[in-house]
Amino acid sequence: MGRPCLTIDLTKLEHNARAIVGVCARHGISVTGVTKGTCGHPEVANAMLRGGVSSIGESRLENVRRLREAGVAAPMLMLRVPALSRVEEVVEAVDASLDSELAVLAALSQAARRRGRVHPAIVMVDLGDLREGVWPDDLVPFVRQVLALPGIRIAGLGANLSCFGGVIPTAENMQRLVNCALEIEKTFGIELVWISGGNTSALPLVAAGRMPARVNHLRIGEAILLGRETVHRTPWPGTHQDAFLLHTEVIELKRKPSFPIGERAEDAFGEAPRFEDRGARDRALLDVGREDVTPEGLVPLDPRVEVLGASSDYLIVDVTQARGDVRVGDELVFAPSYAALLAAMDSAYVEKRLVGAPAAP
Ligand SMILES: *Cc1c(COP(=O)(O)O)cnc(C)c1O
């Protein structure tokens, strides 16, 4: 087989999606499956849909296009708030978007009107994570202006946590989102259909039965893709953590000192790495590098293998503990973190191989 290679187990992904959709359904929550961690891989989207997600969420228009061209017909939600320069494409390509800027919404309204459509918008509220969203104090005047745009229908309110500020979803901050919705409904006499409470990091709150009942939608990527929640990154019960595996090849294997020889400055990436002198060690160079992965995000399946670091084209691992079992030409396999998965999916040098499911008709 060609290496390096990322295997994508579609049966495990479908199973993971079904597990997440199940726990959410028990609490009245529908799930948008988020494929952006796989650059919008159509078979990943299809596996999520077979597992019961009601729509697909994407952050990039290019990925949306890739999904559509491959025949994924499910409703599509744009997750990254649209750029003003791309409103025409957004209205054309997706069924709804998360939004936070009045100028963008005005342009989306015009673009929708030109097509004789009304574009559904979920207005994002910033609950303190300090990424996208309208500040709660500004929400009522903001919504008043959006309601005056004829090409926009406010489909609901949304929030996103744990992405920039690392703020954890709690019953309290989720209730603040619900209170915002109640205030909007009372002030303007409208009904907000969707209260989109967040991403994977909201799952522990849901499973604990502490998510306020009005929250009826989540956008879930990592828990389906990697089988983990993202507050403590613990495995989610009943899911697989190895739907994606990175297969690499040993291209050099030598016993060398563990401490560099000679006067030292920066490494290839301008960092000054620290080394511990552990004497002579067996070290393997593998055929992936920073161009293909984030080395910090790789967990070797063989616990005797230890990741030391990487340059652009080499991943360097210590295999002393596996002495005799690792040879040049052998395969070493790693479970990727979300960041490592994203990099591997994005790397043109890593083959993507579908396993574990019947070929699409
Ligand atoms: C990426 C993203 C998600 C999915 O996040 P996960 O942690 O992978 O579940 C949800 N909502 C928004 C707005 C996003 O950008």
pLDDT value at residue 3: 85
pLDDT value at residue 273: 83
Residues 339 and 283 both lie in one domain: yes
Handedness of CA 343, 345, 351, 357 (dihedral sign): positive
Residue 283 has pLDDT above 60, yes or no: yes
- 289 confidence band (pLDDT: 50, 70, 90): very high
Q: Domain boundary residue among 193, 225, 257? A: 225
Best mutation site among 48, 64, 79, 80 for ligand 1 pocket (most ligand atoms within 8 Å of CB): 79
pLDDT value at residue 359: 56
Q: How much distance in Å is there from the Cα of 221 to the middle of ligand 1?
A: 6
Does 156 reside within a domain? yes
Q: Are 284 and 292 in contact (CB under 8 A)?
A: no
Does 235 reside within a domain? no
Residue 15 has pLDDT above 60, yes or no: yes
pLDDT value at residue 268: 84
Residues 266 and 337 both lie in one domain: yes
- 1 confidence band (pLDDT: 50, 70, 90): low
Q: What share of the chain is helix, strand, coil (3-state, %, to 5)?
A: 35, 25, 40
- 358 confidence band (pLDDT: 50, 70, 90): low
pLDDT value at residue 174: 98
Residues 24 and 169 both lie in one domain: yes
pLDDT value at residue 132: 96
Cα gap 154→140, rounded to integer Å? 13
Residue 36 has pLDDT above 60, yes or no: yes
Residues 181 and 255 both lie in one domain: no
Q: Domain boundary residue among 198, 225, 252? A: 225
Radius of gyration (C-alpha) of the chain in whole angstroms: 23
213 C-beta neighbours (distance < 10 Å), count? 10
Average pLDDT over residues 173-177: 98
Domain that residue 315 falls in? 244-355
Amino acid present at 287: D
Does 337 reside within a domain? yes
Contacts 24+ apart (CB under 8 A), 169-172: 169/197, 169/198, 169/201, 169/202, 169/205, 170/205, 171/205, 171/210, 171/211, 171/212
Residue 287 has pLDDT above 90, yes or no: yes
Residue 319 has pLDDT above 90, yes or no: yes
Tens-digit pLDDT profile for residues 42-101:
999 999 999 999 999 999 999 999 999 999 999 999 999 999 999 999 999 999 999 999
Residues 28 and 140 both lie in one domain: yes
Tens-digit pLDDT profile for residues 255-275:
999 999 998 888 888 888 889
Indicate the average pLDDT of the chain. Answer: 96
Specify whether the backbone of 294 is left (phi greater than 0), alpha (psi in -120 to 50) or beta. Answer: beta
The CATH number of the domain holding residue 338 is: 2.40.30
Q: Domain boundary residue among 225, 253, 282? A: 225
Average pLDDT over residues 123-127: 98
Quick one: which atom of ligand 1 is closest to the CA of 200? 9
Best mutation site among 127, 163, 229, 341 for ligand 1 pocket (most ligand atoms within 8 Å of CB): 163
pLDDT value at residue 110: 98
Residue 224 near ligand 1, beta carbon < 6 Å: no
pLDDT value at residue 145: 98
pLDDT value at residue 296: 95
Does 231 reside within a domain? no
Tens-digit pLDDT profile for residues 59-68:
999 999 999 9
Quick one: which atom of ligand 1 is closest to the CA of 219? 10
Does 183 reside within a domain? yes
Residues 181 and 83 both lie in one domain: yes
More confident residue, 268 or 151: 151
Does 361 reside within a domain? no
Quick one: which atom of ligand 1 is closest to the CA of 32? 10
Does 297 reside within a domain? yes
Residues 183 and 285 both lie in one domain: no
Residues 182 and 44 both lie in one domain: yes
Residues 210 and 252 both lie in one domain: no
The CATH number of the domain holding residue 111 is: 3.20.20.10
Minimal-distance CA residue to ligand 1 atom 6:
221
Tens-digit pLDDT profile for residues 293-316:
999 999 999 999 999 999 999 999
Does 118 reside within a domain? yes
Number of structural domains (the chain) is 2
Looking at the chain, the whole-number percentage of residues with pLDDT higher than 70 is: 98
Residues 218 and 272 both lie in one domain: no
pLDDT value at residue 116: 98
Average pLDDT over residues 218-240: 97
Residues 68 and 210 both lie in one domain: yes
Residues 251 and 112 both lie in one domain: no
Residue 35 near ligand 1, beta carbon < 6 Å: no
- 360 confidence band (pLDDT: 50, 70, 90): low
